[in-house]
Structure 1
């Protein structure tokens, strides 16, 4: 891989190149990507989607939207810091007009969009959708599909849905948001299809990131950016180097922020929590400032800032030390997995899992999410297939009318089912509950 290709400003449908040197500095293409994501309907819906903890009446907790905004801010810093060092190392990029803010804008836009395809009800949403197709009725719905198409649904993946939503045609906008291919490349965390499934130790192979319906679009992006792996490696596609920074931004935020939410709600004791955070910042903390802070909020804010800064700086060092391996596709780790602070990160995550992810309130929300999403899927998938086959009855028509915003553009069973899954994944928590109540006669 080489940076000149990786930083392509091409957009879907372009017939002419977009040289960096000819970009309008007041309306830079990579910054346009950010704008298009933040004004999109799917991004706005994140404000009513659970991140981990159900919305609390007793204190602030993060939604998917606030989490995504924070990941984007951290990502911008990571991108700019890396960009400065990359430009110093590769002066040909400077000659082509690239600047350090380009890297920051790409990472910020990809980070802003990183959760855009995730279903409601936290981390269990994807599993709820995939599990539906393992039920008797769900399995029957996909029985005629190809193995790859079936696997797309059986292991439904929010990352793949996110890629689809970013590029899906909508009325008046062919090609979806038409983000630059550099930003799309940085967004693709797992550059592979659902099958074949060959587990490797490379972080890019942990899950999949592309539905069968989007393979042609993905191949166009891959060819433009030079992500096709022509070696004998089991990984057929390289991961875009800037994806490591997007991933690091997400890892840094959920390590610190989910932990902080647990503290704010009283699920994690303040003394124990502050002790863990101090371990992350002991080399940079100023005790003269810290001892003057009188409230939990002030102490958390100060330690959070130091901790995030330390992790950003550490990740940049790891990224640049391994730039050659990353460009050759042979760096198999997430940046935080090689962090100087790995032991402290693991300790914080262990506490978060125990006290937050396994909290009764969180579990109850996820259990309810399974029932809600699967009931909606059952009704809507059945109605959409009947509509495709011209066998829909009055109930099917009412269900489709109740699913406001559902666009059935697919002309095959696979595409119709994917339309419904994408629609269900795009629902907010409250809209899911409302639709579930309608389907179950709770008016």
Structure 2
């Protein structure tokens, strides 16, 4: 039975607020004033270290996603209103429904590292080649510690912005958001320590990427239990955020590529037209043809903006109503969290799905594979790789040496004594709290977990940087 009153609650870790609307507004305030949210303004969307302020960053992208998500949420409520919101336990919860979706969209990229998704691969490659060999030297004699060692090694090599977002919210920023708000950010339902399901297995889509780390496992399980979300299942409002994110990507990167001079308006039109004709797709072709003709009637400086404004308005509106239909037609599975697909990818025969695939193909071929864009990615790789290597001496220390280091005691590794001063005190406190919880553990497990949390600490520091700060830190430490 669908009853959103069990999902939209006031429960939170500490100091719960009895009034739901006040609780929702409290979440909104905490998110908008969070330093991690502000840092999104200087993180890559597609074009790294961009000086042109009109090019999208993670922050401006997140703002666009939040608006689209709000539109979807309000449209869903409007459609459900015909049967009566009371039927779904939504009466009086309209504000909570819309605001949670909107704020989730602002949070969805908060764990992304500098230099975009390429940095995720860089971090994982570096950890596999540098941290795991150190980790392998730790003893594990019992079956229990052997299993723990395998699980933690897998977790460390699965850095993902989605999983890091949960860590930022719960451990590094300690936003103390409501369980409802946190649960809605868990886009993928697999722990980074779990195996990825094979295609065709249950929840193969929902678990295709890591959604949280071992370090946040107990927190996520506690939230899921409180909100009646089963293992492997997703919180229902997360589907809306995901759809809004997918919709916002469609023309944004093409628009920015024209602003950057990679493509021109005429070239974008020609590419879309050619791809539509090749695929026999008429819906998108009609949309762009009408808007292109309309835009070309205007003066030259305004043609580009008018074309994308008109195309975006048409596509967003059409796709929002399409998403609303999918959501309401599959309401029970979505509410339960077992709906194993993105809303926009569910109906593969629809004209909207075909239009999306065409736009994605063009962006991949002509933007993401552009030489200048890939040059920026290679620079990001060098910076992230270089920073991790600089901080490796902290991983080479024994547990006792690192403990002494945090107590401001002198140790033999003079490099480590200077490196530790660069790491944020909030991140160090998160490490110390995790290690403090190891009291009573057997020695082998404690050693494994201490190294795991220490590695997380270094990843937290570097992945939490903005693009320009990472570049500055790299130049400083490399004496460039």
Preserved CA contact (<8 Å) 1:405 1:423: no
Counterpart for residue 435 of structure 1: 473
Secondary structure of residue in 2 paired with 1:196: coil
Q: How does 1:100-249 map to 2 (within 5 A)?
A: 100-135=94-129, 137-143=130-136, 144=138, 146-168=149-171, 176-194=174-192, 195-201=194-200, 202-228=204-230, 236-249=231-244
Corresponding residue SS for 1:347: helix
Rounded Cα–Cα distance in structure 2 between residues aligned with 1:379 and 1:66: 32
Q: What residue number does 2:332 align with? A: 324
In structure 2, C-alpha distance between the alignment counterparts of 1:191 and 1:420, rounded to whole Å? 25
Residue 189 of structure 1 and its aligned partner are, at CA, apart by 0.4
Q: Which residue matches 1:232?
A: none
Q: Distance in 2 between matches of 1:387 and 1:436?
A: 26
The one-character-per-residue Cα deviations of 1:305-350 (angstroms, maximum 9, x if unpaired) are: 2221221121111111111232344422111113541111111111
Q: Partners of 1:322 and 1:79 in 2: how far apart?
A: 15
Distance in 1 (alpha carbons) for counterparts of 2:10 and 2:463: 29
**Residue 370 (structure 1) aligned to one of 366, 381, 385:** 381
Q: Which residue of 2 aligns with 1:233?
A: none
CA distance in 2, matches of 1:163, 1:341: 32
Rg larger for: 2
Q: 1:408 maps to which residue?
A: 428
So what's the TM-score if we normalise by structure 2? 0.80
Structure 1 position 218, deviation (Å): 0.4
Task: Please give the per-residue CA displacement for 1:399-441, whole angstroms capped at 9, x wherever unaligned.
Answer: 2223456732322111121121111111011111111122222
Match of 1:417 in 2: 455
Moved more, 305-314 or 109-118: 305-314
Aligned length: 422
Give SS of 1:54's match: coil
Local SS of the residue matching 1:98: coil
The answer on whether the counterparts of 1:51 and 1:67 sit within 8 Å (CA) in structure 2 is yes
Give the CA deviation at 1:122: 1.5
Do the aligned residues in 2 keep the contact of 1:319 with 1:335 (CA within 8 Å)? yes
Contact 1:406 1:419 in 2 (8 A): no
Question: 1:187-222 CA distances to partner (integer Å, 9 max, x unpaired)?
Answer: 110122121332345421110111111111101110
Q: Return the offset for 1:158.
A: 1.0
Are residues 1:352 and 2:363 paired? yes
* Match of residue 269 from structure 1: 264
Higher relative helix content: 2
| Counterpart Cα distance in 2 of 1:434 and 1:169 | 22
- 1:37 positional shift: 1.4
Contact 1:281 1:306 survives alignment (8 Å) = no
1:402/1:435 contact within 8 Å kept: no
Q: CA deviation at 1:50?
A: 0.9
Determine the structure 2 residue equivalent to 1:256: 251
* CA distance in 2 between partners of 1:200 and 1:9 (Å): 37
* Counterpart for residue 279 of structure 2: none
Deviation at 1:283, TM superposition (A): 6.8
Q: Residue 116 and residue 169 in structure 1: after superposition, are their counterparts in 2 closer, same or farther (change >3 A)?
A: closer
Change (3 A) 1:39 1:92: same
* Paired residue secondary structure (1:209): strand
Is the contact made by 2:9 and 2:20 (CA closer than 8 Å) also made in structure 1?
no
Q: Is 1:342 the counterpart of 2:353 in the alignment? A: yes
**Residues 1:96 and 1:78: Cα distance change in structure 2 (over 3 Å):** closer
Note the alpha carbon deviations across 1:75-125, whole angstroms, 9 max, x for none: 111122223334554643787753433221011111100000010012101
Deviation at 1:301, TM superposition (A): 1.6
Instruction: Report the TM-score when normalising by structure 1.
Output: 0.87
Match of 1:231 in 2: none
The question of 1:299 aligning with 2:301 is answered no
Deviation at 1:54, TM superposition (A): 2.5
Q: Which sections of structure 2, spanning at least 5 residues, go unmatched?
A: 139-147, 274-281, 403-410, 436-449
